[in-house]
Chain A
Amino acid sequence: MSRASEPLLSVQGLEKHFPVTKGLLKRQVGAVRAVDGIGFDVVKGETLGLVGESGCGKTTTGRLITRLIEPTGGKIVFDGRDITHMSQGRLRPLRRDMQMIFQDPYSSLNPRHTVGAIVGAPYRIQGIKTEHGVKRAVQEILELVGLNPEHYNRYPHEFSGGQRQRIGIARTLALKPKLIIADEPVSALDVSIQAQVVNLLEDLQSELDLTYVVIAHDLSVVRHISDRVAVMYLGKIVEMADRTDLYGSPMHPYTNALLSAVPIPDVRRRSERERIRLQGDVPSPLNPPPACRFHTRCWKAQEICRKVEPPLTALAPGHQVACHFPENLSGDAPPAPAAGQEKEPGTISPVS
């Protein structure tokens, strides 16, 4: 991973407010602030993980970056070009370089098309010439993702869930993209198949020099696959750091709560594990809480949290946090994820 190089993708102040309308005249009465001013860079060859509870805006972020939906604010620079409002016509050649993998491999594959037609479609749509014909090119890709090239003429329903996800991946690889946005790529798969697909994504990355943004709610998978991780809450990035820092010394209370909620398969230590338990669910992005959006669920919230929005600030090298009272500031010992964590009294409950 070359940290010094130019970012392949740079996002600044990105916003998507979905209008909420009422009545026959479709008068706008409000907006769902699905993504509300986020920024990050992704360097060539790196994997950025995007985590957070459902409804936090992860999928919308992916769809904005790939310009499947139009941003309502902010800027997206891809490979040195501002694509924020680029017309679909001018985007077309860039679309090759930027592909998306979806959670449900089945719903994103046309059941009436053969695997050959599905994986070969990008060539036809983009009008790309191949050296030895499309069929040969497709078969090479099938082989690359661990599918039998002889299955070229089979239909999606003839494959298992894991194989279908491989077909989905094969399709995105056809045009040799530079950036892949993977939205929950393994969450519909069985654990043994999840691991196959995670390994495949890692192998393809080093072989084809790919850059990834991986969106997932599974914090263990994200730690495994990512170089850096951004944590989203209600349309905002609340913490972003190297995976070692983020998982080793999480600073935002929300990140701490998320990590503490992950069930750990360590039966000897389960009784001594102390946990932070968040109350309730994520509030609606239609009327997000003012100032720090996490204050309605945060055990550290003070007056200032309800009045002043904490900016995303670098509190350690490469470690950005948006919180007035961060945890694990330098000097504090990083908590072992499974061991007891030092918190204010009343915020932790030992589970017996």
Chain B
Amino acid sequence: MTFLELKDLRIHFPTDDGLVKSVDGLSFTLERGKTLGIVGESGSGKSVTSLGVLGLHKGGRAKISGEIWLDGEELVGASAEHVRKLRGKKMAMIFQDPLSAMHPYYTVGNQIIEAYRIHHDVSKKVARKHAIDMLARVGIPQPDRRVDSYPHEFSGGMRQRAMIAMALCCDPELLIADEPTTALDVTVQAQILDLMRDLQRDFNAALIIITHDLGVVAELSDDILVMYGGKCIEYGSAEDIFERPEHPYTWGLLGSMPRLDREPTERLLPIKGSPPSLINVPSGCAFHPRCPYAERTAGRSETEVPELLETAGGHRVRCHLPGERRRAIWEKEVMPNLEGTS
């Protein structure tokens, strides 16, 4: 049985300006012990997706349809109460800003103790011991003292570790990390990514890492889902996405990014224009106003929404260009320009 499966998930928000189609037909699967990276620019629907999986849109104004299967249970139709019980125990989340997830007036220890005791019938003393163990596990020095510190007494990196400890305290099977290192310095980011890699291996959890940083997903992911305008536009193994990407938007992301592991290029190759509004998503392929290849599809890019189709062994692409054309463009027109010059 697949551990996590999303089937045609849609999360739309009615607003005064119109319907915001934040997530618009998203499907993927994820097994225990595996890491899925979700990348895309801001506003592409990454955070709304993760909140949706955790059931945090329930009771709000969001219109949700589709299915979310977690370990044999369907969550879209489940009661808010039931999903709340799964949260913390079965699935947990790490946010970009730990302060938003922590209470400023309670010690870090008390917050972990509370979270643990919601799901475990143990004494305060046992829970405190567990909290100290968790803080030690995520690399917080002197955990038996720091357990009594308040969140603001921690540095940014230490706070992020404490939040990871909080998320992991009930041994969740699904962990969603939404931009977990975006606010951190590169040295601290590297520490946190190492930590997440180790923990995931030890806990055998399914991990979803959401970020706008292609380097970060490349470090951790088995599979990668590229989002644009609320839809998955390309999905594949990390090798598929970085070595044989087939979607013009993925090419654009790769061309925009200066890379330390290659000789410097003369110029970056940006994508023209900016990401779409999710109220007035462009017709046809949402990427068409920015796509340099739209004119090669005989008008279909502007009028027809392309389907997400498998191109080879689990690698799926949402584009009207035929597979051979895409592979030829990547090899002859795109890839050579990404290589350094000097």
Contact = CB atoms under 8 A, between A and B. Distances in A.
Interface of A: 53-54, 160-163, 190-196, 198-199, 202, 217, 219-221, 223-224, 243, 247, 257-270, 275, 277-278, 280-282, 336-338, 351
Contacts of A263: 189-190, 193, 213, 215-216, 218-219
A188 B268 CA distance: 18
Among B197, B260, B270, residue most surrounded by chain A Cβ atoms (within 10 Å): B260
Contacts of A269: 261
Contacts, number: 135
Contact of B185 (A196, A217, A267): A217
Contact of B268 (A199, A266, A270): A199
Contact of A219 (B157, B186, B193, B242): B186
Given A266-B242, A267-B218, A281-B156, A194 B193 contact: no
Given A190-B212, A263-B190, A195 B274 contact: no
Nearest to B155: A281
A192 B270 contact: yes
A191 B254 CA distance: 9
Contacts of A160: 274
Given A160-B274, A193-B270, A224 B258 contact: yes
A258 B243 contact: no
B239 A267 contact: yes
A258 B268 contact: no
B66 interface: no
30 contacts: A191-B253, A192-B41, A194-B256, A195-B270, A199-B270, A220-B258, A221-B258, A223-B258, A224-B264, A224-B268, A258-B186, A258-B187, A260-B190, A261-B186, A261-B189, A263-B193, A264-B215, A264-B261, A265-B215, A265-B218, A267-B239, A270-B219, A277-B187, A281-B156, A281-B185, A281-B188, A336-B261, A337-B260, A338-B260, A351-B197
Contacts of B219: 263-264, 270
A15 B99 CA distance: 34
B261 A337 contact: yes
Given A220-B257, A266-B261, A199 B274 contact: no
A190 to B, nearest CB: 4
Contacts of B41: 190-192
B268 A198 contact: yes
A193 B268 CA distance: 11
B282 interface: no
Contacts of A53: 185-187
A264 B30 CA distance: 24
A347 B144 CA distance: 27
Closest 6 CB pairs of A and B: A263-B215, A195-B270, A195-B256, A261-B190, A224-B258, A338-B261
B212 to A, nearest CB: 6
B268 A190 contact: no
Interface in B255-297: 255-261, 264-265, 267-272, 274-275
Interface residues of B, number: 48
A178 to B, nearest CB: 24
A191 B257 contact: yes
A247 B239 contact: no
Nearest to B241: A267
B187 A191 contact: no
B243 A223 contact: no
B311 interface: no
Interface string B7-48: 000000000000000000000000000000000011000000
B194 A191 contact: no
Nearest to B40: A190
B288 to A, nearest CB: 15
B185 A54 contact: yes
B242 A192 contact: no
Contacts of B238: 267
A194 B275 CA distance: 13
Nearest to A191: B256
Contact of B42 (A163, A190, A258): A190
Contacts of B272: 196
